[in-house]
A = this chain, B = another copy of it.
Amino acid sequence: MLNYVHAIPTKVFFGEGQIRRLPEALAAFGKRVLLAYGGGSIKRIGLYDTIMALLHEGGFTVTELSGIEPNPRIESVAEGVRLCKDNDIDVILAVGGGSTIDCSKAIACGVFYEGDDLWQMIVTSGGFSKALPLVDVLTLSATGSEFDGGGVISNMKLNEKLGAGLTFPAVSICDPTYTFTVSPYQTAAGSADIMSHIFEGYFSREDDCELSDGIAETILKTVMKYTPIALQDPENYSARANLMSCSSVACSGIPEYGKEDTGWPCHAMEHELSAFYDITHGVGLAILTPRWMRFILKKDPTALPRFVRFAKNVFGLEGKDDQALAQEAIDRLEAYFRSTGIPMTLKELNIDEKHFEVMADHANRNDRLAHAFVPLTRDDVVEIYRTCL
Protein backbone atom coordinates (compact mmCIF):
# COMPACT_ATOMS: atom_id res chain seq x y z
CA MET A 1 0.00 0.00 0.00
CA LEU A 2 1.64 3.20 -1.22
CA ASN A 3 1.38 6.66 0.28
CA TYR A 4 -1.44 8.89 -0.88
CA VAL A 5 -2.86 12.36 -0.43
CA HIS A 6 -6.58 12.97 -0.08
CA ALA A 7 -7.63 16.56 -0.74
CA ILE A 8 -11.09 17.28 -2.13
CA PRO A 9 -12.32 20.71 -1.09
CA THR A 10 -15.55 20.32 -3.07
CA LYS A 11 -18.83 20.52 -1.20
CA VAL A 12 -21.46 18.23 -2.73
CA PHE A 13 -25.18 18.83 -2.30
CA PHE A 14 -26.71 15.58 -3.44
CA GLY A 15 -30.33 14.78 -4.15
CA GLU A 16 -33.60 15.99 -5.54
CA GLY A 17 -34.27 19.69 -5.08
CA GLN A 18 -30.76 20.67 -4.03
CA ILE A 19 -30.83 23.41 -6.67
CA ARG A 20 -32.30 25.60 -3.94
CA ARG A 21 -28.76 25.82 -2.54
CA LEU A 22 -27.48 27.47 -5.72
CA PRO A 23 -27.96 31.19 -4.91
CA GLU A 24 -26.17 30.89 -1.58
CA ALA A 25 -23.36 28.85 -3.12
CA LEU A 26 -22.75 31.47 -5.80
CA ALA A 27 -23.23 34.49 -3.56
CA ALA A 28 -20.28 33.40 -1.43
CA PHE A 29 -18.08 34.43 -4.36
CA GLY A 30 -19.84 37.41 -5.88
CA LYS A 31 -22.65 38.50 -8.13
CA ARG A 32 -21.17 38.37 -11.64
CA VAL A 33 -21.69 34.87 -13.00
CA LEU A 34 -20.49 33.15 -16.18
CA LEU A 35 -23.15 30.54 -16.99
CA ALA A 36 -21.48 27.83 -19.06
CA TYR A 37 -23.39 25.03 -20.76
CA GLY A 38 -23.40 22.77 -23.78
CA GLY A 39 -26.18 22.11 -26.24
CA GLY A 40 -29.85 22.62 -25.62
CA SER A 41 -30.52 19.79 -23.15
CA ILE A 42 -30.63 22.01 -20.09
CA LYS A 43 -33.25 24.12 -21.86
CA ARG A 44 -35.31 21.05 -22.87
CA ILE A 45 -35.54 19.79 -19.29
CA GLY A 46 -36.42 23.23 -17.89
CA LEU A 47 -33.24 23.49 -15.86
CA TYR A 48 -32.08 26.60 -17.70
CA ASP A 49 -35.29 28.42 -16.79
CA THR A 50 -35.10 27.26 -13.17
CA ILE A 51 -31.56 28.50 -12.86
CA MET A 52 -32.18 31.80 -14.62
CA ALA A 53 -35.14 32.45 -12.31
CA LEU A 54 -32.98 31.73 -9.24
CA LEU A 55 -30.19 33.97 -10.54
CA HIS A 56 -32.61 36.74 -11.36
CA GLU A 57 -34.23 36.58 -7.91
CA GLY A 58 -30.81 36.57 -6.32
CA GLY A 59 -29.74 39.70 -8.15
CA PHE A 60 -26.94 38.05 -10.11
CA THR A 61 -25.57 39.41 -13.38
CA VAL A 62 -25.30 36.60 -15.92
CA THR A 63 -22.98 36.26 -18.91
CA GLU A 64 -23.58 33.13 -21.02
CA LEU A 65 -21.19 30.76 -22.73
CA SER A 66 -23.19 28.12 -24.58
CA GLY A 67 -22.37 25.43 -27.09
CA ILE A 68 -19.54 23.76 -25.19
CA GLU A 69 -18.71 20.62 -27.17
CA PRO A 70 -19.01 17.00 -25.93
CA ASN A 71 -15.22 16.84 -26.27
CA PRO A 72 -14.64 20.44 -25.15
CA ARG A 73 -12.18 22.40 -27.27
CA ILE A 74 -9.49 24.84 -26.46
CA GLU A 75 -11.33 27.46 -28.53
CA SER A 76 -14.26 27.27 -26.09
CA VAL A 77 -11.86 27.68 -23.21
CA ALA A 78 -10.38 30.76 -24.87
CA GLU A 79 -13.82 32.22 -25.47
CA GLY A 80 -14.76 31.63 -21.82
CA VAL A 81 -11.57 33.28 -20.60
CA ARG A 82 -12.32 36.29 -22.77
CA LEU A 83 -15.88 36.54 -21.42
CA CYS A 84 -14.63 36.30 -17.82
CA LYS A 85 -12.10 39.07 -18.35
CA ASP A 86 -14.43 41.33 -20.32
CA ASN A 87 -17.22 40.99 -17.76
CA ASP A 88 -15.16 40.91 -14.59
CA ILE A 89 -16.71 37.55 -13.66
CA ASP A 90 -16.65 36.51 -9.97
CA VAL A 91 -17.72 32.89 -10.29
CA ILE A 92 -18.31 30.35 -13.04
CA LEU A 93 -21.50 28.28 -13.00
CA ALA A 94 -21.15 25.15 -15.12
CA VAL A 95 -24.42 23.38 -15.89
CA GLY A 96 -24.02 20.08 -17.67
CA GLY A 97 -21.91 16.96 -17.74
CA GLY A 98 -18.19 16.43 -17.54
CA SER A 99 -17.47 18.28 -20.77
CA THR A 100 -19.03 21.51 -19.57
CA ILE A 101 -17.43 21.18 -16.13
CA ASP A 102 -14.01 20.35 -17.60
CA CYS A 103 -14.19 23.31 -19.97
CA SER A 104 -15.24 25.55 -17.07
CA LYS A 105 -12.31 24.36 -14.96
CA ALA A 106 -9.95 25.30 -17.78
CA ILE A 107 -11.62 28.69 -18.10
CA ALA A 108 -11.35 29.24 -14.33
CA CYS A 109 -7.60 28.62 -14.50
CA GLY A 110 -7.14 30.27 -17.86
CA VAL A 111 -8.23 33.63 -16.50
CA PHE A 112 -5.02 33.61 -14.46
CA TYR A 113 -2.82 31.93 -17.06
CA GLU A 114 0.36 33.88 -17.55
CA GLY A 115 1.46 32.53 -20.92
CA ASP A 116 0.39 33.43 -24.46
CA ASP A 117 -0.89 30.05 -25.57
CA LEU A 118 -3.74 28.56 -23.51
CA TRP A 119 -3.09 25.14 -25.03
CA GLN A 120 0.26 25.09 -23.21
CA MET A 121 -1.67 25.41 -19.93
CA ILE A 122 -3.36 22.10 -20.78
CA VAL A 123 -0.14 20.45 -21.98
CA THR A 124 1.78 21.39 -18.83
CA SER A 125 -1.06 21.41 -16.26
CA GLY A 126 0.44 24.69 -15.12
CA GLY A 127 1.25 28.32 -15.70
CA PHE A 128 -1.72 29.67 -13.74
CA SER A 129 -1.42 31.18 -10.29
CA LYS A 130 -4.97 30.61 -9.08
CA ALA A 131 -8.46 29.97 -10.43
CA LEU A 132 -11.86 31.60 -10.43
CA PRO A 133 -14.30 29.81 -8.13
CA LEU A 134 -16.45 27.21 -9.88
CA VAL A 135 -19.92 25.95 -8.99
CA ASP A 136 -21.55 23.23 -11.06
CA VAL A 137 -24.93 21.64 -11.54
CA LEU A 138 -24.43 18.10 -12.80
CA THR A 139 -26.67 16.63 -15.50
CA LEU A 140 -24.81 13.44 -16.47
CA SER A 141 -23.33 10.63 -14.39
CA ALA A 142 -20.03 9.83 -16.03
CA THR A 143 -16.77 11.69 -15.71
CA GLY A 144 -16.63 12.46 -11.99
CA SER A 145 -15.47 15.97 -12.87
CA GLU A 146 -17.90 17.24 -10.22
CA PHE A 147 -15.65 15.75 -7.53
CA ASP A 148 -12.10 16.02 -8.85
CA GLY A 149 -9.63 18.65 -9.98
CA GLY A 150 -8.90 17.42 -13.48
CA GLY A 151 -10.22 18.24 -16.90
CA VAL A 152 -9.83 16.91 -20.43
CA ILE A 153 -9.57 19.40 -23.28
CA SER A 154 -9.24 18.78 -27.02
CA ASN A 155 -7.28 20.55 -29.71
CA MET A 156 -8.76 19.28 -32.95
CA LYS A 157 -6.21 21.16 -35.07
CA LEU A 158 -3.48 19.06 -33.49
CA ASN A 159 -5.67 15.96 -33.04
CA GLU A 160 -4.88 16.09 -29.36
CA LYS A 161 -7.06 15.42 -26.32
CA LEU A 162 -5.25 15.82 -23.04
CA GLY A 163 -6.07 15.57 -19.36
CA ALA A 164 -4.74 18.27 -17.08
CA GLY A 165 -4.75 19.05 -13.38
CA LEU A 166 -6.81 22.23 -13.08
CA THR A 167 -9.09 23.19 -10.19
CA PHE A 168 -11.78 21.63 -8.00
CA PRO A 169 -15.37 22.82 -8.05
CA ALA A 170 -16.16 24.72 -4.85
CA VAL A 171 -19.69 23.35 -4.89
CA SER A 172 -21.33 20.60 -6.94
CA ILE A 173 -25.09 20.28 -7.01
CA CYS A 174 -25.90 16.69 -7.91
CA ASP A 175 -29.60 16.08 -8.48
CA PRO A 176 -30.25 12.66 -10.02
CA THR A 177 -33.59 13.80 -11.48
CA TYR A 178 -31.66 15.93 -13.99
CA THR A 179 -30.45 12.66 -15.54
CA PHE A 180 -33.97 11.23 -16.04
CA THR A 181 -33.95 12.45 -19.64
CA VAL A 182 -30.42 11.34 -20.51
CA SER A 183 -30.65 9.13 -23.61
CA PRO A 184 -30.02 5.39 -23.36
CA TYR A 185 -26.86 5.86 -25.42
CA GLN A 186 -25.43 8.54 -23.14
CA THR A 187 -26.56 6.69 -20.03
CA ALA A 188 -24.72 3.56 -21.12
CA ALA A 189 -21.66 5.51 -22.24
CA GLY A 190 -21.55 7.42 -18.96
CA SER A 191 -21.70 4.19 -16.99
CA ALA A 192 -18.85 2.75 -19.05
CA ASP A 193 -16.84 5.86 -18.23
CA ILE A 194 -17.47 5.41 -14.49
CA MET A 195 -16.39 1.76 -14.71
CA SER A 196 -13.26 2.66 -16.64
CA HIS A 197 -12.20 5.09 -13.91
CA ILE A 198 -12.31 2.10 -11.60
CA PHE A 199 -10.55 -0.35 -13.92
CA GLU A 200 -7.65 2.03 -14.45
CA GLY A 201 -6.72 1.84 -10.77
CA TYR A 202 -8.03 -1.61 -9.90
CA PHE A 203 -5.67 -3.37 -12.28
CA SER A 204 -2.51 -2.60 -10.36
CA ARG A 205 0.42 -4.32 -8.70
CA GLU A 206 -0.40 -3.14 -5.18
CA ASP A 207 -2.46 -6.08 -3.99
CA ASP A 208 -2.77 -5.26 -0.29
CA CYS A 209 -5.22 -2.39 -0.81
CA GLU A 210 -8.19 -4.29 0.53
CA LEU A 211 -10.22 -1.17 1.35
CA SER A 212 -9.77 0.51 -2.01
CA ASP A 213 -10.17 -2.74 -3.96
CA GLY A 214 -13.40 -3.48 -2.13
CA ILE A 215 -14.71 0.00 -2.84
CA ALA A 216 -13.70 -0.37 -6.49
CA GLU A 217 -15.56 -3.69 -6.75
CA THR A 218 -18.59 -2.15 -5.07
CA ILE A 219 -18.70 0.63 -7.65
CA LEU A 220 -18.40 -1.82 -10.55
CA LYS A 221 -21.22 -3.98 -9.18
CA THR A 222 -23.40 -0.98 -8.40
CA VAL A 223 -23.00 0.45 -11.91
CA MET A 224 -23.72 -2.90 -13.55
CA LYS A 225 -26.78 -3.36 -11.34
CA TYR A 226 -28.31 0.06 -11.92
CA THR A 227 -27.42 0.86 -15.54
CA PRO A 228 -29.87 -1.72 -16.96
CA ILE A 229 -32.54 -0.42 -14.57
CA ALA A 230 -31.94 3.17 -15.69
CA LEU A 231 -32.12 2.06 -19.33
CA GLN A 232 -35.39 0.21 -18.74
CA ASP A 233 -36.93 2.80 -16.43
CA PRO A 234 -35.22 6.16 -17.03
CA GLU A 235 -36.98 7.88 -14.13
CA ASN A 236 -36.00 5.29 -11.54
CA TYR A 237 -34.59 7.53 -8.82
CA SER A 238 -32.65 4.82 -6.99
CA ALA A 239 -30.86 3.82 -10.17
CA ARG A 240 -30.05 7.37 -11.24
CA ALA A 241 -28.96 8.31 -7.72
CA ASN A 242 -26.65 5.34 -7.30
CA LEU A 243 -25.08 6.00 -10.70
CA MET A 244 -24.55 9.67 -9.82
CA SER A 245 -22.93 8.84 -6.46
CA CYS A 246 -20.75 6.26 -8.20
CA SER A 247 -19.65 8.85 -10.75
CA SER A 248 -18.30 11.09 -7.98
CA VAL A 249 -16.76 8.47 -5.72
CA ALA A 250 -15.07 6.72 -8.66
CA CYS A 251 -13.02 9.86 -9.28
CA SER A 252 -12.44 10.74 -5.62
CA GLY A 253 -9.15 8.90 -5.45
CA ILE A 254 -10.57 6.66 -2.71
CA PRO A 255 -10.83 3.56 -4.95
CA GLU A 256 -7.12 4.09 -5.65
CA TYR A 257 -5.88 4.73 -2.11
CA GLY A 258 -2.46 3.11 -1.89
CA LYS A 259 -2.21 2.22 -5.59
CA GLU A 260 0.58 3.11 -7.96
CA ASP A 261 0.10 5.43 -10.94
CA THR A 262 -0.76 3.06 -13.78
CA GLY A 263 -0.80 5.69 -16.51
CA TRP A 264 -4.50 5.00 -17.11
CA PRO A 265 -3.90 3.04 -20.34
CA CYS A 266 -7.50 2.79 -21.58
CA HIS A 267 -7.98 6.52 -21.15
CA ALA A 268 -4.70 7.18 -22.94
CA MET A 269 -5.82 5.03 -25.86
CA GLU A 270 -9.35 6.39 -25.90
CA HIS A 271 -8.29 10.01 -25.89
CA GLU A 272 -6.68 9.35 -29.26
CA LEU A 273 -9.90 7.87 -30.65
CA SER A 274 -11.77 10.99 -29.51
CA ALA A 275 -9.04 13.33 -30.68
CA PHE A 276 -9.04 11.85 -34.18
CA TYR A 277 -12.70 10.93 -34.56
CA ASP A 278 -14.59 12.99 -31.92
CA ILE A 279 -16.42 9.92 -30.63
CA THR A 280 -18.23 9.59 -27.29
CA HIS A 281 -15.58 9.00 -24.62
CA GLY A 282 -17.45 6.29 -22.72
CA VAL A 283 -18.15 4.32 -25.89
CA GLY A 284 -14.49 4.35 -26.82
CA LEU A 285 -13.63 3.10 -23.35
CA ALA A 286 -16.19 0.29 -23.51
CA ILE A 287 -14.80 -0.87 -26.83
CA LEU A 288 -11.20 -0.76 -25.66
CA THR A 289 -11.49 -2.20 -22.16
CA PRO A 290 -12.22 -5.89 -22.79
CA ARG A 291 -9.71 -5.97 -25.66
CA TRP A 292 -7.06 -4.35 -23.47
CA MET A 293 -7.82 -6.92 -20.78
CA ARG A 294 -7.42 -9.88 -23.14
CA PHE A 295 -4.21 -8.42 -24.53
CA ILE A 296 -2.50 -7.85 -21.19
CA LEU A 297 -3.64 -11.18 -19.79
CA LYS A 298 -2.02 -12.89 -22.77
CA LYS A 299 1.09 -10.72 -22.68
CA ASP A 300 1.87 -11.11 -19.00
CA PRO A 301 0.88 -14.23 -17.02
CA THR A 302 1.56 -12.41 -13.75
CA ALA A 303 -1.57 -10.36 -14.45
CA LEU A 304 -3.72 -13.44 -13.89
CA PRO A 305 -4.34 -13.22 -10.11
CA ARG A 306 -5.84 -9.74 -10.45
CA PHE A 307 -8.26 -11.02 -13.10
CA VAL A 308 -9.18 -13.97 -10.90
CA ARG A 309 -10.03 -11.58 -8.08
CA PHE A 310 -12.08 -9.49 -10.52
CA ALA A 311 -13.93 -12.62 -11.69
CA LYS A 312 -14.74 -13.77 -8.17
CA ASN A 313 -15.54 -10.49 -6.48
CA VAL A 314 -17.32 -8.65 -9.25
CA PHE A 315 -19.03 -11.45 -11.20
CA GLY A 316 -19.23 -14.02 -8.39
CA LEU A 317 -17.57 -16.65 -10.58
CA GLU A 318 -15.97 -19.69 -9.02
CA GLY A 319 -14.96 -23.32 -9.42
CA LYS A 320 -12.98 -23.23 -12.65
CA ASP A 321 -9.30 -22.96 -13.32
CA ASP A 322 -7.87 -19.47 -13.01
CA GLN A 323 -7.36 -18.87 -16.72
CA ALA A 324 -10.94 -19.87 -17.49
CA LEU A 325 -12.22 -17.65 -14.69
CA ALA A 326 -10.32 -14.66 -16.03
CA GLN A 327 -11.50 -15.21 -19.59
CA GLU A 328 -15.10 -15.64 -18.50
CA ALA A 329 -14.96 -12.42 -16.50
CA ILE A 330 -13.73 -10.49 -19.52
CA ASP A 331 -16.36 -12.11 -21.74
CA ARG A 332 -19.04 -11.16 -19.24
CA LEU A 333 -17.83 -7.59 -19.10
CA GLU A 334 -17.93 -7.33 -22.89
CA ALA A 335 -21.38 -8.91 -22.95
CA TYR A 336 -22.54 -6.45 -20.30
CA PHE A 337 -21.34 -3.46 -22.34
CA ARG A 338 -22.99 -4.88 -25.45
CA SER A 339 -26.24 -5.42 -23.56
CA THR A 340 -26.40 -1.69 -22.80
CA GLY A 341 -26.83 -1.00 -26.50
CA ILE A 342 -23.65 0.90 -27.35
CA PRO A 343 -21.42 0.07 -30.34
CA MET A 344 -18.75 -2.42 -29.38
CA THR A 345 -16.51 -2.25 -32.43
CA LEU A 346 -14.65 0.61 -34.09
CA LYS A 347 -16.18 -0.35 -37.43
CA GLU A 348 -19.60 0.64 -36.12
CA LEU A 349 -18.09 4.11 -35.56
CA ASN A 350 -16.62 4.18 -39.08
CA ILE A 351 -13.09 4.06 -37.73
CA ASP A 352 -10.49 2.10 -39.66
CA GLU A 353 -6.80 1.52 -39.06
CA LYS A 354 -5.65 4.57 -41.01
CA HIS A 355 -4.38 6.55 -38.00
CA PHE A 356 -3.55 3.70 -35.61
CA GLU A 357 0.21 4.19 -35.84
CA VAL A 358 0.22 7.89 -35.06
CA MET A 359 -2.50 7.45 -32.44
CA ALA A 360 -0.36 4.82 -30.73
CA ASP A 361 2.61 7.19 -30.73
CA HIS A 362 0.46 9.86 -29.08
CA ALA A 363 -1.10 7.46 -26.56
CA ASN A 364 2.32 6.38 -25.35
CA ARG A 365 3.90 9.84 -25.38
CA ASN A 366 6.68 10.20 -22.82
CA ASP A 367 6.58 6.41 -22.42
CA ARG A 368 3.66 6.89 -20.06
CA LEU A 369 2.41 3.35 -20.64
CA ALA A 370 5.78 1.86 -19.74
CA HIS A 371 4.67 1.82 -16.09
CA ALA A 372 1.14 0.56 -16.66
CA PHE A 373 -0.11 -2.53 -14.76
CA VAL A 374 1.17 -4.48 -17.76
CA PRO A 375 3.58 -2.14 -19.57
CA LEU A 376 2.52 -1.35 -23.13
CA THR A 377 4.66 -0.37 -26.10
CA ARG A 378 3.33 1.67 -28.98
CA ASP A 379 3.20 -1.56 -31.01
CA ASP A 380 1.05 -3.10 -28.30
CA VAL A 381 -1.30 -0.15 -28.56
CA VAL A 382 -1.57 -0.59 -32.33
CA GLU A 383 -2.37 -4.25 -31.75
CA ILE A 384 -5.07 -3.41 -29.19
CA TYR A 385 -6.65 -0.89 -31.58
CA ARG A 386 -6.67 -3.63 -34.27
CA THR A 387 -8.55 -6.05 -32.03
CA CYS A 388 -11.20 -3.35 -31.58
CA LEU A 389 -12.00 -3.16 -35.29
Separation of A238 and B17 alpha carbons in the complex (Å): 42
Write the chain B residue with the least CB distance to A226: B210
Contact in complex: A211, B6 (CB < 8 Å): no
Residues on B with C-beta less than 8 A from A219 are 211, 214
Write the chain B residue with the least CB distance to A3: B15
**Distance to closest chain B CB from A169 (angstroms):** 12
Interface string of A264-284 (1 = CB under 8 A from B): 000000000000000000000
Residues on B with C-beta less than 8 A from A11 are 5-7
Residues on B with C-beta less than 8 A from A13 are 3, 5
**Distance to closest chain B CB from A137 (angstroms):** 15
Q: Does A188 contact B (CB under 8 A)?
A: no
Q: Does A208 contact B (CB under 8 A)?
A: yes
Contact in complex: A254, B257 (CB < 8 Å): no
Q: Within the oligomer, what is the number of copies of this chain?
A: 2
**Distance to closest chain B CB from A372 (angstroms):** 22
Write the chain B residue with the least CB distance to A13: B5
Q: Does A16 contact B (CB under 8 A)?
A: yes
With A15-B4, A258-B245 as given contacts, are A218 and B208 in contact (CB-CB < 8 Å)? no
Residues on B with C-beta less than 8 A from A246 are 211
Q: Does A221 contact B (CB under 8 A)?
A: yes
Write the chain B residue with the least CB distance to A241: B1
Q: Does A18 contact B (CB under 8 A)?
A: yes
Write the chain B residue with the least CB distance to A15: B3
Write the chain B residue with the least CB distance to A209: B242
Residues on B with C-beta less than 8 A from A9 are 9
Q: Does A295 contact B (CB under 8 A)?
A: no
Separation of A241 and B241 alpha carbons in the complex (Å): 31
Separation of A240 and B67 alpha carbons in the complex (Å): 50
Contact in complex: B5, A14 (CB < 8 Å): yes
Write the chain B residue with the least CB distance to A246: B211
Q: Does A83 contact B (CB under 8 A)?
A: no
- Give 4 new A-B contacts, CB below 8 A, not counting A3-B18, A209-B242: A3-B13, A6-B12, A212-B245, A214-B222
Question: What would be 6 A-B contacts, judged by CB atoms less than 8 Å apart?
Answer: A4-B12, A15-B258, A210-B226, A211-B219, A211-B245, A218-B218
The 3 closest A-B pairs by CB, nearest first: A3-B15, A214-B218, A208-B238
